[in-house]
Amino acid sequence: MMVRRYSRMALCVVALVAGVSMAGAPVQAETHKGASTQVVSKGKQVSLEYTLKLDDKNVLETNVGREPMTYTHGAQEIVPGLEKALEGLAVGDKKHVTVKPADGYGEVDPKAFQEVKKSQVPEKAWKVGAELEAKGPDGQSMLLRVTEVKADSVVLDFNHPLAGKTLYFDVKVLEIRAAAPPSK
């Protein structure tokens, strides 16, 4: 599934500080008594178990029962809304987090649609919904979608696939440790 390519990106892209809900959305936290006194804070390496859903409440992706997702808190490796909501949690804590588009992958940007000649796109992608992988100016992989096919051109959508979407995370903090020193 093409969304799998964004498995870590669903948590790890975009300019990803208190444990508050986003846009007034309810937040539920469950703390395990006797858990480590170490809490999620800037510079800590955090391992999570998570499930991500969209408005339709279907699971988009999950790592429950698989390898934990690990990130460095405060390093903008996950979406900002999720990072803010995790601040202050301890090992064993569970939380439901609602992340509005502005604190996730942003709103859909109409300027991110670009019309290009068909000759610049593989023929097999000359259909609405086709997905293409391209390299951005910084060399990072990005997923493009064909949104319209015209006589001599196609319209590509450069927005992140989750742009404009509210994200619903169920998370559990599995481990918190000091971040590894940067390699020289």
Judgement on whether residues 37 and 71 belong to the same structural domain of the protein: yes
Judgement on whether residues 54 and 144 belong to the same structural domain of the protein: no
- Cα separation, 146 vs 118, in Å, equals 11
Judgement on whether residues 65 and 21 belong to the same structural domain of the protein: yes
Judgement on whether residues 98 and 115 belong to the same structural domain of the protein: no
Instruction: Give domain status of residue 184, yes or no.
Output: no
Domain that holds residue 50: 2-106+162-178
pLDDT score for 24 = 35
57 Rama sector, left if φ>0, alpha if ψ -120 to 50, beta otherwise: left
Judgement on whether residues 128 and 68 belong to the same structural domain of the protein: no
For 34-46, what is each residue's pLDDT tens digit?
444 789 999 999 9
pLDDT score for 141 = 86
Q: Which of 31, 20, 26, 24 is nearest to 84 (CA)?
A: 20
- Which residues partner with 117 through β-bridges? 153
pLDDT score for 97 = 98
Q: Which of 147, 154, 116, 114 is nearest to 129 (CA)?
A: 147
Q: Where residue 23 falls among pLDDT bands split at 50, 70, 90?
A: very low
Q: Which of 58, 62, 18 is nearest to 42 (CA)?
A: 18
Judgement on whether residues 57 and 148 belong to the same structural domain of the protein: no
For 97-130, what is each residue's pLDDT tens digit?
999 999 999 999 999 999 999 999 999 999 999 9
Judgement on whether residues 9 and 86 belong to the same structural domain of the protein: yes
Judgement on whether residues 115 and 74 belong to the same structural domain of the protein: no
Judgement on whether residues 72 and 136 belong to the same structural domain of the protein: no
Q: Residue 133 maps to which CATH number?
A: 2.40.10.330
- Cα separation, 2 vs 167, in Å, equals 18
**Entry pTM:** 0.72
